[in-house]
Structure formats: C-alpha cells, structure tokens
Amino acid sequence: MPTITKKPHVLVVPFPQSGHMLPHLDLTHQILIRGATVTVLVTPQNSSYLDPLRSLHSPETFKTLILPFPTHPSIPSGVETLQQLPLQALPHMFEALSRLHDPLVDFLSHQPPSDLPDAILGSSFLSPWVNKVANAFSIKSICFMPINAHSISTMWGQEDRGFFDELETCTSESYGLVINTFYELESEFVENVKTLHMNHHRVWTVGPLLPVKAGANRGGKSSIPPQKVSAWLDSCPDDNSVVYIGFGSQIRLNTEQTAALAAALEKSGVRFIWAVRDAAKKVNSNDDDDKSVEEDVIPLGFEERVKEKGLVIRGWAPQTMILEHKAVGSYLTHLGWGSVLEGMVGGVLLLAWPMQADHFYNTTLLVDKLQAAIRVGENRDYVPESDELAKVLAESVKDDLPERVRLMKLREKGMVAIKEGGSSYHDLDGLVAEMCR
C-alpha cells in the first residue's frame, strides 16, 4: 500500500437500502485504512449501520453527519430505508432524499475552507443532487454503484430508461465511478463503461468488497442468534451439504411461492437455512392500517416437520457468516450482485431465481455467459414446480458440478484481485490518490 502524502477528506453519502449501503460502507473502510479521513452522511435510523466502522476507526478519522430524514407524503413516518417499502416506492425515496441537498449545503457553508471535503463519494442513485452540492463547493463528485459493469452497460445501452435516465446522465457527468466488481471477471464490459458511457478512464473496479469484520449482526438483528446459527452449521456432519435460501432485503415470496419452495425442501431431504424477509410497509399508510402485510407466509407445521433438517430465520440473517461456513454448499438466490459476490467469496454454488432490475442481467452474465450458476426460475410471479426444484436442490450440494468448478475459478481470480498487487487493490490505491489530486 503506497504512502499517501496528503490524506484526503471524503464525504460519503450512501443510499439507504442495505444492498447499497453495506458495500458502500465496506468501500469506506478500504478508504479509511488507506489514510483518508471520512465523514458519512446518514439519517437517524441508519446510524447503526455505521457501528462496525465506529468500532474499528478512531473518531478523528471516522466521523458522522446525521441529518433528519425529510418527510414525504407517500413514505410512512419512521421509515428511512427502501427495504422497509415495496420497490414501487423508489421514486418517492429519491424525491425525499433529494431534500437533503439544502441542509447539506447549509452544513458545508458553515465549515472552514480547510475542513471541506476533497471529494464526495456518493451513491449513483443520489447523483442528481449530490453533483450539485459538489459543484457548489468545487469538490470532486465520485459515484459508487454496487452492481457490475455488465449490468451498467446493459442498462445504459437501452433507449428507454425511464426515470433512470437522469441517474445515468448525472453519473456519467461526475468526476469518476467506482464499481463493486473485479476487472478479470468482465474486462470487456468495464472498458465499455469507460469508453461508451463515462467518456474517460476514471472508473475504478474495487471488488469483491469484503464485509467489515465487526460482529455478525451486519445490518440488522437475526430472529435466531448468530451463535445458534453457527452452532447448527457446526453440527452438520458433511461439508457443502447445506442449501442456503435468501432473496435479499427487497424480495418477499408470496404464499403460493413459499408453499412450493417449502414442499421442495421437504421432498429434497437436504439440510437448509431459509431466510424469510419481513413484510414491507405499504406506502400512503399508517402503522395502524398496515397489520395485514405482516402475515406469516411459512406453511403451518412446516418448521416442526423439518426441525431436524433446517432452520427458518425471519427478518435479517447473518448471511455472510452462513455463506462462508464450510457446511454450506449452495445458495438459492435472487442473484442481486451483492449476494453473487458473497456467494462467490463463500465458494457456494449459485442457484439463480432472478426477480427484478439487475437480477436478470446478472443471470445473463453468470448463467449464460460464464456458465458459473444454474437458473432455477425467473420473475416475481414464477411458482416453481416442487418436484423439479427438489431435484435441483438435492443435486446442488454435489461437489463435482461443472458450474461449481467454474465459480471456484472465478472466486480465485477475485481473491487475487483484492490482494496487494491485484487489480482491485491497485484501483483502491488509485482512487484514494485521485481524491486529493
């Protein structure tokens, strides 16, 4: 790691959704250990996401700026993260967060010139107003995207991007772009982003960003204590024998899908851990009117019947810990990019059930192009046939599947990329150096 003569001060502005927030904070950790001083802007209910970084870094180098969450008529009171809402609420969240522009400008206006940040490392989702803040103070605005270059190239290459068009324009107009991928995985698409969309080469590939190692409650609390989950995995007699099922922070299966998956798990006979997401709050509703969405979708009696074979975790699950355990062999996933990288680092076979947004592009990359994952379903309304899915689940814990072999080769390249001398390590060094240039 090169010695940086001038230590940059970086203002980090993450998007409040765990799939965006967590890798953004993992990136923040990498910047901190390279000598930067960092201030992270969050709203009050998101402050706990910063606890791992608070425990690892001194208050002289890691600081927080907590601003009130702006009210919005379509966002229930007390909701400050997108995973608490259906995805359809995304435009409302964009609108609410854009109202942080004025209080942030006010805060920066009252800082001595020497205390102003050298760069703002903001979420691409927030670039329309973060760029304006940066321009007002002649600060570099660098965007972070927690997805891969293939998805960026595909999305930005479409003619009709809807309200995402502004995000692409503002991201491409920023000083630079940071992507949670590694060059050796998709060099062709990284170069496409540089030449076709950013019009410069200030694109840094810094993945796979490893989680900050500070406790198992990464982003939430598990309904089953992480120690109990770990002990259950330790008790499994065979390596690669457990299927982990999790669909991220934004996806909740309906009753019919859940019943089919439960039936498949019973028929397969495999050991499993199943993370079931909490229900989202309805937009334009008060808490008193919102009780119906809290209905438990797990079939009655299922947990009792499979108690010797599996665990059901409601709400947040210690996913990183689970995927890195030697007992876990496969992962039934929506194929969100953060989940792909966690599964890859954990060395587990990926069973793809893409649901929305970039999940489909990730499936094209991992299943069709790289042949390093297996497609088992597609779309939000897909209901799997339980006998067929049971066979896939039973097969997925075998060691000799070609998709597992290919994924392990990709994993090896990714782990080399983040070590000293690797491409991602080099880009992280370059990013920090560029911030104070």
Q: Kindly name the residue from 26, 29, 57, 118 that is annotated as catalytic.
A: 118
Q: Say whether 358 is catalytic.
A: no
Q: Which tokens is 133 given? A: 């803040």
308 vs 132: CA distance, rounded Å: 56
Q: Which residues contact 190 (CB under 8 A, 6 or more apart)?
A: 149, 179, 181, 183, 203, 205
DSSP state of 326: T
Question: How many C-alpha atoms does 257 have within 13 Å on its Cβ side?
Answer: 15
Q: Say whether 239 is catalytic.
A: no
Helical pair 337-346 and 402-417, crossing angle rounded to 10 deg: 100
Q: Which tokens is 313 given? A: 């975790």
99 vs 72: CA distance, rounded Å: 10
Dihedrals phi, psi of 349, to nearest 5 degrees: -70, 135
Instruction: Give first-to-last CA distance, the chain, whole Å.
Output: 17
Contact 384, 359 (CB under 8 A): no
The catalytic site residues sit at: 20, 118
